[in-house]
């Protein structure tokens, strides 16, 4: 039976308890995920990426040097562009990747992501979120798989469609294959197959695959594992360069949805043709996508901020169901002639003011010359110009057809 679920997963468990022995003295007193990468711990980059796709809580599965992770938490959270609840669950013994989940089971959500704190595949995770939303109930989880032209250094997953039929030993040199990218979307059902000390990869996944309960999403993208000195060195420049992304700012009404005037509810929210495709295309190409929208409907008392937030949660989930994501959102609820006194004022955030763009540029550490704005009003262009961002006026029609030839910034 296929059950359509939400495409939004709010919790990610992150494995941060490894010993890191291959890095020698570097990890004598520092857990690998805390090693600096550019201007912040590697783990901070992982959490930053997760929050783009709707994760609001990170559960750090700590072990070896767990107290160091706890000490570092406030500084890590301070680097994040969006609020995220970050908590630790410490394994009582060296429990392995499966055991780490076992010991944190009381804190795990019904469905959660699981990833490593010391590796990252730079890809559009929304494809996996979208696929998992329609997985049948008996499926225990999905794993992200990376296709390699030569997979001979790794064990490979054997796929039948998107079902993982099993895991094979290293193929012969030069043979292509799909390998485990270290990112999973799991349901709590997986906990039934987990013992207090076990390896997820060795002891749990093969059984789930044999029972037909494991699926895979094949992805491509830059991959780094900081577990060996040469790759850790490479990460110093490559990760900041990759993850300081270009950004596409989109107005909402008249760009993402038809402007029916003060749209504050789902029944009046009609997606523009190609809107989800345009966002997916930008995310696939490695761009952030942000919404910046004037919402004087709030100032006019037509809908509340809570109603607006609920509507935009739905929009974000609809986007993820289409393999897209909205990294972040700013809205301006004020109007100088507002009906509601609380919202009656001029505000830099209200376009043509540049405030919403500037705030996103600040939080996400964006380079305005690597950003693009698409709006349907002259005020959108004025706001972008004041923020130092190039902008285009969308005349209507198919948004993807309009945006796609304009994603030319490198
Ligand atoms: Mg508009």
Domain residues for the domain of 167 are: 11-243
- Please, what is the average pLDDT of the chain? 95
How many Å lie between the centroid of ligand 1 and the Cα of residue 161?
42
Same structural domain for residues 21 and 153?
Answer: yes
CA–CA separation, 87 vs 70, rounded Å?
8
CATH number of residue 347's parent domain: 3.40.50.1000
pLDDT confidence bin for 25, thresholds 50/70/90: confident
Distances (CA, A) of 242 to 121, 123, 259, 321: 11, 11, 35, 25
Q: Is residue 2 part of a domain?
A: no
Calculate mean pLDDT across residues 117-123: 95
Output the CA torsion sign for 376, 378, 381, 386. Answer: negative
Same structural domain for residues 41 and 77?
Answer: yes
Q: Is residue 3 part of a domain?
A: no
Same structural domain for residues 368 and 223?
Answer: no
How many Å lie between the centroid of ligand 1 and the Cα of residue 125?
28
CA–CA separation, 353 vs 294, rounded Å?
10
Calculate mean pLDDT across residues 53-59: 98
Q: Is residue 156 part of a domain?
A: yes
How many Å lie between the centroid of ligand 1 and the Cα of residue 116?
40
Q: pTM (2 decimals)?
A: 0.96
Q: Is 162 a catalytic residue?
A: no
Same structural domain for residues 45 and 76?
Answer: yes
Residue tagged active-site, from 118, 122, 135, 251:
251
**Is 41 a residue whose pLDDT tops 70?**
yes
Q: Which of 246, 242, 238 is nearest to 368 (CA)?
A: 246
> Which of 243, 261, 287 finishes a domain?
243
**Is 129 a residue whose pLDDT tops 60?**
yes
Q: Is 251 a catalytic residue?
A: yes
Same structural domain for residues 222 and 363?
Answer: no
Same structural domain for residues 213 and 279?
Answer: no
Higher pLDDT among residues 84 and 3, named by residue: 84
**Is 204 a residue whose pLDDT tops 90?**
yes
Count of structural domains, the chain? 2
**Is 1 a residue whose pLDDT tops 80?**
no
pLDDT confidence bin for 186, thresholds 50/70/90: very high
Same structural domain for residues 93 and 238?
Answer: yes
Same structural domain for residues 217 and 272?
Answer: no
How many Å lie between the centroid of ligand 1 and the Cα of residue 377?
6
* Token pair recorded at residue 159: 């796929």
Q: What is the pLDDT of residues 7-22, one digit of tens each?
A: 999 999 999 988 777 8
Q: Is residue 170 part of a domain?
A: yes
Same structural domain for residues 238 and 210?
Answer: yes
> Which of 222, 243, 264 finishes a domain?
243
Q: What is the pLDDT of residues 221-263, one digit of tens each?
A: 999 999 889 999 999 999 999 999 999 999 999 999 999 999 9
Same structural domain for residues 140 and 79?
Answer: yes
Q: Is residue 287 part of a domain?
A: yes
């Amino acid at each position: 039976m296929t059950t359509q679920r939400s495409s939004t997963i709010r919790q990610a468990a992150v494995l941060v308890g490894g010993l890191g022995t291959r890095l020698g003295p570097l990890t004598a007193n520092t857990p690998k995920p805390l090693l600096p990468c550019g201007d912040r711990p590697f783990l901070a980059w992982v959490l930053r990426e997760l929050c783009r796709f709707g994760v609001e809580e990170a559960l750090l599965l700590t072990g070896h040097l767990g107290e160091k992770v706890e000490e570092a938490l406030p500084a890590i959270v301070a680097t994040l562009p969006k609020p995220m609840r970050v908590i630790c669950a410490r394994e009582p013994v060296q429990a392995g990747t499966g055991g780490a989940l076992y010991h944190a089971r009381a804190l795990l959500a019904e469905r959660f992501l699981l990833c490593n704190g010391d590796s990252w595949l730079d890809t559009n995770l929304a494809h996996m979120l979208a696929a998992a939303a329609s997985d049948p109930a008996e499926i225990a989880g999905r794993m992200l798989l990376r296709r390699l032209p030569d997979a001979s250094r790794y064990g490979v997953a054997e796929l039948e469609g998107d079902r993982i039929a099993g895991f094979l030993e290293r193929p012969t040199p030069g043979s292509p294959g799909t390998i485990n990218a270290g990112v999973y979307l799991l349901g709590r059902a997986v906990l039934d197959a987990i013992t207090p000390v076990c390896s997820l990869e060795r002891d749990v996944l093969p059984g789930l695959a044999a029972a037909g309960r494991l699926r895979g999403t094949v992805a491509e993208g830059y991959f780094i594992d900081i577990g060996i000195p040469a790759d850790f060195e490479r990460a110093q420049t490559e990760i900041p360069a990759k993850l300081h992304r270009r950004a596409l700012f989109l107005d909402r009404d008249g760009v993402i949805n038809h402007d029916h005037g003060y749209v504050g509810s789902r029944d009046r929210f009609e997606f523009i043709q190609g809107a989800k495709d345009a966002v997916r295309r930008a995310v696939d190409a490695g761009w952030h996508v942000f919404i910046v929208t004037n919402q004087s409907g709030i100032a006019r008392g037509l809908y509340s901020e809570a109603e607006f937030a609920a509507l935009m949660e739905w929009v974000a989930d609809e986007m993820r169901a289409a393999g897209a994501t909205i990294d972040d959102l700013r809205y301006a609820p004020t109007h100088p002639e507002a009906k509601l006194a609380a919202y009656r004022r001029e505000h830099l955030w209200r376009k043509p003011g540049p405030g919403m763009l500037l705030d996103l540029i600040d939080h996400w550490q964006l380079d305005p010359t690597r950003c693009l704005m698409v709006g349907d009003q002259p005020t959108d262009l004025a706001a972008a110009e004041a923020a130092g961002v190039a902008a285009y006026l969308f005349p209507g029609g198919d948004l993807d057809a309009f945006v796609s030839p304009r994603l030319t910034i490198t």
